[in-house]
């Protein structure tokens, strides 16, 4: 008897495909909002794409909304899928005890699905009724493709040197719980860095990856991050790009061919390139919003300008887990530089520099904002020797004024400064001013990059983003 995922392996090899065809009969895409129309919609897709589909994934919501007739249509659709093609019921269930048992019987016995998507939130006992039959599979929600997934799934957990996020914890549990046979994960292809991390934590699990096509995920990044060592293990879900095509069969074939081409290119890459670490970007960008570090409205800046955006990274001290991720982002940049010490600038960057020092094991110093007139009267706190090199750490870069003040104190103490590293460049002239003086500035993010990400993910209203872009353009003109 083959397990569900063994069958998935066999079919993937037999047809050389990783395509999961989503069966999502949106009511506004049907000629009429009826169960018959939804059924015809899905039957057309099944007939057109069955030669290329590794699996089909009907979404229960689009049938439940049509009442009992919709539920009956879903039953007929699942039964109509040709033998040997797995059907994954996208229901995202999550409950305990007898309720979970009833959901399992509904999905596997009544409807006849081969697998189901579940929520991990209620723990292992809520999953066990679905895992009782090894011929059935479970895909556990881990890191979903929507931008708002960061609100909970990216929250850091304590107790580790490198703090683990909620989605990483889920991935580790899935690897443990599904060691025998029948537990996979759902990870959005829209977050390739998370996809790569999940693959590291669950090297053998199948991953269902939505987000390609209408949601804008990059195929090559997804494959590079999510494939197992054997070139399988990634089930790429596509719905609207196929269902809205004039010829769904041709669209499915073109997708599968693009998968194969991308896989071939990855196999031809040197191992060092193929396994290159992807940047941790998207989750941290969204985290800055969720922490309130980036706010929108009308704010008077130190320069006197009225800005539609305000960046307050002092709030990071209230979120130690996020501070860990911020420090990790700095460390990735610092690993490319040569220096003896990091120097955190008062006041906002001092907690950040401290976190960097602890995680990266870099000795830290800092220039005092006000030189004390008692004790040692030191302008620089910490242990250092003249002639050593310092990498300056700050939170933001606007005009560069505070950087020059700090660099002057450091150089007066006999230290060398070549590099300044900040989390966000407000693009108000700091980079150019520092470069003119012979210093290199490195920013984890520029404000334009943040705006572009939020525009692409539709995380913020378009008018809000436009107002900040106009402000940036105006300040660039002034500078």
Same domain, 219 and 106: yes
CA 185 → CA 27, 170, 182, 452, distances in Å?
Answer: 28, 9, 10, 29
Same domain, 153 and 200: yes
- CB of 187 within 8 A of CB of 273? no
Report CA 108 to chain centroid distance, whole Å: 31
Convert 39-60 to b/e letters by CB count within 10 Å (16 or more is b): bebbbebbebbbebbbbbbbbb
Same domain, 215 and 338: no
pLDDT for res 418:
97
Most confidently modeled range among 233-237, 304-308, 397-401 = 233-237
Q: What are phi and psi of 214, to 5 degrees?
A: -60, -30
Same domain, 73 and 130: yes
Q: Is the pLDDT of residue 232 over 90?
A: yes
Question: Is 162 exposed, middle or buried, given 0-12, 13-18 or 19+ CB atoms closer than 10 A?
Answer: exposed
CA-CA-CA-CA torsion for 359, 325, 212, 175, nearest 10 degrees? 60
* Per-residue model confidence as pLDDT tens digits over 262-297: 988 888 766 544 343 334 456 788 788 888 999 999
Distance CA 172, CA 268 (A): 30
**Residue that has been written with the tokens 């420090």 in this structure:** 327
Average pLDDT, the chain: 89
Catalytic residues: 92
Convert 63-78 to b/e letters by CB count within 10 Å (16 or more is b): beebeeebbebbeebb
Query: Which CATH number covers residue 143?
Result: 3.20.20.70
Same domain, 294 and 265: no
Average pLDDT, integer, range 232-261: 95
User: Of 70-74, 103-107, 161-165, 231-235, where does mean pLDDT reach its minimum?
Assistant: 161-165
Question: 3-state SS string over the chain?
Answer: CCCHHHHHHHHHHHHCCCEEEEECCCHHHCCCCCHHHHHHHHHHHHHHHCCCCCEEEEECHHHHCCHHHHHHHHHHHHHHCCCCCCEEEEEEECCCHHHHHHHHHHHHHHCCCCEEEECCCCCHHHHHHHCCCCCCEEEEEEECCCHHHHHHHCCEECCCCCCEEHHHHHHHHHHHHCCCCCEEEEECCCCHHHHHHHHHHCCCCCEEECCECCCCECHHHHHHHHCCCCCCCEEEEECHHHHCCCCHHHHHHHHHHHHHHHHHHHHHCCHHHHCCCCCCCHHHHHHHHHCCCEEEEEEECCCCCEEEEEECHHHHHHCHHHHHHHHHHHHHHHCCCCCCEEEECCCCHHHHHHHHHHHHCCCEEEECCCCCCCCCCCCEECCCCCCCEEEEEEEEECCCHHHHHHHHHHHHCCCEEEEEEEEEECCCCHHHHHHHCCCEEEEEEEHHHHHHHHHHHCCCCHHHHHHHHHHHHHHHHHC
Same domain, 57 and 131: yes
Q: Is the pLDDT of residue 477 over 60?
A: no
What is the token pair recorded at 198? 């999940």
Same domain, 441 and 322: yes
* Per-residue model confidence as pLDDT tens digits over 252-262: 999 999 999 99
Distance CA 314, CA 332 (A): 21
Q: Is the pLDDT of residue 336 over 60?
A: yes
- Pairing status of strand 294-300 against strand 306-311: antiparallel
Q: For residue 388, name the pLDDT band (cuts at 50, 70, 90).
A: very high
Same domain, 389 and 425: yes
- CB of 235 within 8 A of CB of 208? yes
What is the token pair recorded at 230? 């054997």
* Per-residue model confidence as pLDDT tens digits over 44-89: 999 999 999 999 999 999 999 999 999 999 999 999 999 999 999 9
- CB of 296 within 8 A of CB of 464? yes
Distance CA 159, CA 184 (A): 26
Q: Is the pLDDT of residue 115 over 80?
A: yes
Side-chain-side CA neighbours of 56 within 13 Å: the count stands at: 28
* Per-residue model confidence as pLDDT tens digits over 410-442: 999 999 999 999 999 999 889 999 999 999 999
Query: Which CATH number covers residue 411?
Result: 3.40.50.2020
Same domain, 303 and 190: no
Nearest Cα to 183, choosing from 162, 204, 157, 210?
Answer: 204
Q: Is the pLDDT of residue 338 over 60?
A: yes
Structural domain boundaries enclosing 189: 4-274
Same domain, 447 and 385: yes
Where among 274, 295, 330 does a domain terminate?
Answer: 274
Same domain, 169 and 295: no
Where among 274, 294, 314 does a domain terminate?
Answer: 274
**How many domains does the chain contain in total?**
2
Q: Is the pLDDT of residue 161 over 50?
A: no
Find the helix packing angle between 320-334 and 282-290, rounded to 10°.
140
Where among 274, 290, 322 does a domain terminate?
Answer: 274
Same domain, 419 and 336: yes
């Amino acid at each position: 008897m083959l397990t569900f995922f063994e069958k998935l392996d066999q079919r993937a090899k037999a047809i050389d495909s990783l395509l999961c065809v989503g069966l999502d009969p949106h009511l506004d895409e049907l000629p009429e909002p009826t169960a018959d129309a939804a059924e015809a919609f899905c039957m057309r897709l099944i007939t057109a794409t069955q030669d290329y589909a590794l699996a089909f994934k009907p979404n229960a919501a689009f049938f439940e909304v049509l009442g009992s007739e919709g539920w009956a249509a879903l039953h007929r659709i699942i039964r109509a899928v040709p033998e040997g093609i797995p059907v994954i019921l996208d229901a995202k269930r999550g409950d305990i005890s007898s309720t979970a048992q009833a959901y399992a019987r509904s999905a596997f016995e009544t409807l006849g699905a081969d697998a189901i998507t579940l929520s991990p939130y209620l723990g292992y006992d809520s999953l066990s009724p679905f895992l009782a039959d090894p011929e059935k599979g479970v895909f556990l929600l881990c890191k979903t493709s929507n931008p708002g997934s960061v609100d909970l799934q990216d929250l850091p957990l304590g107790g580790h040197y490198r703090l683990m996020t909620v989605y990483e914890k889920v991935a580790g549990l899935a690897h443990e719980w599904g060691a025998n046979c029948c537990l996979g994960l759902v990870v959005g292809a829209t977050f390739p860095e998370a996809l790569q991390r999940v693959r590291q934590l669950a090297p053998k699990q199948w991953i269902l990856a939505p987000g390609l096509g209408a949601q804008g995920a990059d195929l090559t990044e997804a494959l590079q991050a999510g494939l197992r060592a054997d070139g399988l293990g990634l089930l790429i879900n596509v719905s609207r790009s196929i269902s809205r095509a004039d010829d769904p069969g041709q669209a499915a074939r073109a997708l599968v061919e693009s998968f194969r081409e991308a896989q071939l290119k990855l196999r031809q890459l040197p191992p060092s390139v193929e396994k290159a670490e992807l940047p941790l970007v998207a989750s941290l960008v969204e985290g800055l919003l969720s922490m309130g570090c980036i706010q929108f409205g009308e704010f008077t800046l130190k320069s006197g300008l009225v800005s539609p955006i305000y960046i307050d990274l002092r709030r990071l001290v209230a979120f130690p887990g996020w501070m860990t991720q911020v420090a990790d982002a700095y460390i990735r940049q610092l690993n490319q530089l040569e220096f003896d010490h990091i120097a955190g600038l008062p006041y906002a960057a001092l907690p950040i520099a401290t976190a960097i020092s602890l995680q990266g094991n870099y000795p830290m110093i800092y220039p005092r904002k006000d030189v004390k007139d008692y004790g040692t009267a030191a302008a620089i706190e910490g242990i250092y020797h003249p002639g050593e090199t310092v990498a300056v750490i700050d939170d933001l870069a606007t005009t560069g004024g505070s950087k020059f003040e700090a660099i002057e104190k450091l150089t007066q103490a006999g230290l060398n400064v070549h590099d300044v590293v900040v989390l966000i460049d407000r693009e108000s002239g700091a980079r150019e001013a520092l470069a003119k003086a012979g210093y290199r500035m490195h920013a984890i993010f520029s404000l334009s990059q943040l705006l572009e990400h939020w525009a692409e993910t539709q995380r913020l209203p378009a008018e809000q983003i436009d107002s900040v872009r106009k402000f940036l353009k105006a300040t660039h003109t002034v500078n």
